[in-house]
Copies of this chain bind each other. A is one copy, B any other.
Amino acid sequence: MRIGELASRAGVSVRALRYYEEQGLLESERTPGGQRDYPDTAVERVRFFQSMYAAGLSSRRIADMLSCFDNGTTNAQQRAMLAEERVRIDARIAELMGARGRLEELIVAASDRAG
């Protein structure tokens, strides 16, 4: 498929896809006219990127774990990195839950005042 279709199917912008390619995350064939051509599997791949970005990983980090995503094998360094990122995500979740609690306090206190 071409870039526009991939963008809409994966829920990202065309610009984002070109950026992923720049970062070495996403390859593509080219048509004789020079346009990018993606396989169907690219949709899932891009969604994986989005998920990792949403979790706060950098392009570099995602690139480092790509072989792991592609064929399910890892070296020691990758295993350490995966575990490290999991810890980081857990910490982020804890922060967010803390903030949620603070917000909740404000809401409860305010509703008490409001009756």
Which residues of A approach B to under 8 Å, CB–CB?
A: 48, 51-52, 54-55, 57, 65, 68-69, 72-74, 78-79, 82-83, 85-86, 89-90, 92-93, 95-100, 102-104, 106-107, 109-114
Contact = CB atoms under 8 A, between A and B. Distances in A.
Contacts of A110: 68, 72-74, 78-79, 82
B102 A52 contact: yes
A106 B68 contact: yes
Q: Could you say how many copies of this chain the assembly holds?
A: 2
15 contacts: A48-B102, A51-B95, A51-B98, A51-B99, A51-B102, A55-B95, A69-B106, A74-B113, A74-B114, A78-B110, A79-B107, A89-B103, A90-B100, A92-B96, A93-B100
Contacts of A100: 55, 86, 89-90, 93
